[in-house]
Structure 1
Amino acid sequence: MVKLIGAVLILFAGTMIGFQQASRFAARPRQIRQLIHALQRLETEIGYGYTPLPEAMSNTAIHLPEPIKSMFHEVCRLLAQDNELSFRECWEQAVVKHWPSTAMKSAERSALIRLGTSLGISDRDDQIKHLKLAETQLGAEEEAARDEQARYEKMSRSLGVLVAALVVILIV
């Protein structure tokens, strides 16, 4: 009886690990798409609304889903403090702090950090150009993430179940 319960628990744990990994493959392209939409909204706020950058970040953060929302709110919070941090430093700190809660990889992170170095230090048109460049880079990463999802999502689910079944067979 104890072996049966142990086997069921091992099968359940392996299956859940496989499904969790598959959900990360599915979440990455979705989060990249959300990030692209956030940058497009920020571009609209800066370009057409003539909104100052801190206010544009705040207005954009309101309409975003998690975990992107937390990242943008963190930038706003750091900008609102009475410290001497530049926008680049606030942006980088927020990205580093909230990155572990995303399913995105280092390529998206480096594109965001590069964007943060150019926002807030130039005129409106230059900021829009940098936002468009980041959107293009993230769009390419989204395509790669969709390819990875198609290739590895189903395999991760199956592999979790099969490895758990192998462990059960070896134990019994």
Structure 2
Amino acid sequence: MLKLIGAALILFAGTMIGFQQAARLAARPRHIRTLLHTLQRLETEIGYGYTPLPEALERAAEHTPEPLAAMLKEAAKRLDDADGPSFRESWSRAIEGHWANSAMRSPEKAALIRLGSSLGISDREDQVKHLRLAMQQLKAEEDAARDDQERYEKLCKSLGVLVAALIVILIV
């Protein structure tokens, strides 16, 4: 009886690990799509609304789900400090602090950090150009993430179940 309960727990745990990995693969394209929408909103605020950068970040964060909203709010808060760091430092720290909460990977992080090094130091048109470039890079990453999801989501689910079944067979 005890072996049967242990086997069921191992099967359940392996299945859940597989499903959790599949959910992470499915969340990555969603997070990138949300980030793209946020950058479009930021582009509108800067390009057409003539909004200062800290206020534009706050406004964009209002319409963005977590964890991206927290990242934008932190960057805006750091900028509002009178003797605070530059935008580049604020942006990088905010990304580093909240990156683990997202399903995105290092290519998206690199694109955002590159964007942070060019925002806030040039005129409005140049900032809009850099935002569009970052959006193009993120769009390519979103397409790659969708391909990975299609290719590996089902595999992760099946692999979780099969590895758990193998462990049960080896133990019993």
Q: Do Structure 1 and Structure 2 share a fold, with TM-score over 0.5?
A: yes
Q: How does 1:6-17 map to 2 (within 5 A)?
A: 6-17=6-17
Q: Following the alignment from structure 1 to structure 2, what is the Cα–Cα distance between the partners of residues 156 and 83? A: 48
Matched with 2:167 is 167
One-letter identity of the residue aligned with 2:12:
F
Q: Following the alignment from structure 1 to structure 2, what is the Cα–Cα distance between the partners of residues 114 and 108? A: 10
| TM-aligned CA deviation for residue 16 of structure 1 | 0.5
Any idea what the Cα deviations from partners look like across 1:73-127, whole Å, max 9, x if unmatched?
Answer: 1111211223330001000000011111111110000000000000000000000
Matched with 2:57 is 57
Does 2:101 correspond to 1:101?
Answer: yes
Q: Following the alignment from structure 2 to structure 1, what is the Cα–Cα distance between the partners of residues 126 and 34? A: 23
Q: How does 1:40-79 map to 2 (within 5 A)?
A: 40-79=40-79
One-letter identity of the residue aligned with 1:32:
I
One-letter identity of the residue aligned with 1:91:
W
Matched with 1:3 is 3
SS in 1 for 2:54: helix
TM-score normalized by structure 2? Answer: 0.98
Q: Following the alignment from structure 2 to structure 1, what is the Cα–Cα distance between the partners of residues 134 and 160? A: 35
Q: Following the alignment from structure 2 to structure 1, what is the Cα–Cα distance between the partners of residues 6 and 82? A: 56
Matched with 1:35 is 35
Matched with 2:112 is 112
Q: Percent identity?
A: 67
**For this pair of structures, how many residues does the alignment match?**
172
Q: Which stretch shows the higher mean deviation, 136-145 or 80-89?
A: 80-89
One-letter identity of the residue aligned with 2:164:
A
TM-score normalized by structure 1? Answer: 0.98
What is the alpha-carbon root mean square deviation over aligned residues? 0.7
Moved over 6 A (4+): none
SS in 1 for 2:84: coil
One-letter identity of the residue aligned with 1:150:
E
SS in 2 for 1:30: helix
Quick check: 2:11–2:164 contact (8 Å CA) kept in 1? yes
User: Could you list the runs of 5+ residues in structure 1 that have no partner in the other structure?
Assistant: none
